[in-house]
Amino acid sequence: MWRALTALTPYCPVCDVSYVFSDGPGTEADAVMGKGTRFVCAQGRLDGMPPPQGAVSGEVVEWVAEERIGTRLELASENWQTRVELADASPGATHVTVTVTHDPQGGNRLRQVLQRRAMQRMVQRTVDSELAKLPDHVSRMSERRREVVPVEQGVAVVKQAPSSVEQERGGWVVHLRGEVDASAVNRLELQRRLEELAVVAIDVRGLTYIDATAFPHLQRWAKRTSRAGGRAVIRGDSPYFDQMLGVMGLTSMFRREP
> Edge to edge, what strands does the sheet with 38-43 contain?
11-12, 17-21, 38-43, 56-64, 68-74, 78-88, 94-104
What is the C-alpha to C-alpha distance for residues 171 and 175, in angstroms, rounded to an integer? 13
> Edge to edge, what strands does the sheet with 199-210 contain?
164-167, 172-180, 199-210, 233-235, 255-257
- The bridge status of strand 199-210 relative to strand 172-180 is parallel
- The bridge status of strand 17-21 relative to strand 11-12 is antiparallel
pLDDT in tens, the chain (258 residues): 666 666 666 778 878 888 887 754 433 333 456 788 888 888 888 877 788 888 888 888 998 877 888 999 887 677 888 888 888 877 767 788 888 887 776 656 655 555 666 667 767 777 777 777 777 776 666 655 554 444 444 444 444 567 888 988 888 999 999 888 888 888 888 989 999 999 999 999 989 888 888 888 999 999 999 999 999 999 998 888 888 888 777 888 999 998
The answer to whether the beta carbons of residues 29 and 223 sit under 8 Å apart is yes
Q: DSSP H helical segments within 48-196, as ranges?
A: 109-148, 182-188, 190-196
